[in-house]
Amino acid sequence: MPAELTPETIESWLKQSPFIAFMNLEVVSVDAQGGEVAMKMPMRAEFERGGGIGGQFHGGPIAALIDTVGDFAVAVVVKGGVPTINFRVDYLRPSTGTHLLAKARTRRVGRTVGVVDIDVFDDQGRLTAVGRGCYGAQPG
């Protein structure tokens, strides 16, 4: 495990999962001491809601973004990959634009469980979804 988790380290971890690599996430910021991570997810045709509604993200990729960024907020604290226990999503408005920005902040990382709040913003800075996740706190 590296002594310090840099955005480059996290981006290399993202590439280890074919699904996460497909999402093409970009690490925007990492604060391991504060348990905060921010990532951008670009729009791609496979993420569109469809049905004649152009440029709108489907809820599935938004949920995957929330889960991934929440997971990594705990991972930077415990310095290793952690499993998802559960997470929830509240969609507040349609998510549109060229990308979404997810900001995750750990609320608490205990011996066995970490709890994270995640906010998702569209490319105009509007809050479009919020999530909360619980993740294992033991790297494995």
CA distance 73 to 65: 12
Is the pLDDT score of 35 beyond 60? yes
135 and 84 Cβ atoms separated by less than 8 Å: yes
Average pLDDT on 98-125 reads 96
Question: Does residue 103 contact residue 128 with C-beta atoms inside 8 Å?
Answer: no
Distance CA 51, CA 107 (A): 38
Averaged pLDDT, 60-74: 96
- Split at pLDDT 50, 70, 90, the class of 133 is very high
And the tokens for 68?
């991934």
Given a cut of 80, whether residue 52 has pLDDT beyond it is no
Q: Provide mean pLDDT across the span 62-70.
A: 97
Burial 29-63 (b: 16+ CB within 10 A, else e): ebebeebbbbbbbebeeebbbeeeeeebbeeebbb
CB 100 within 8 A of CB 57: yes
Average pLDDT over residues 73-89: 92
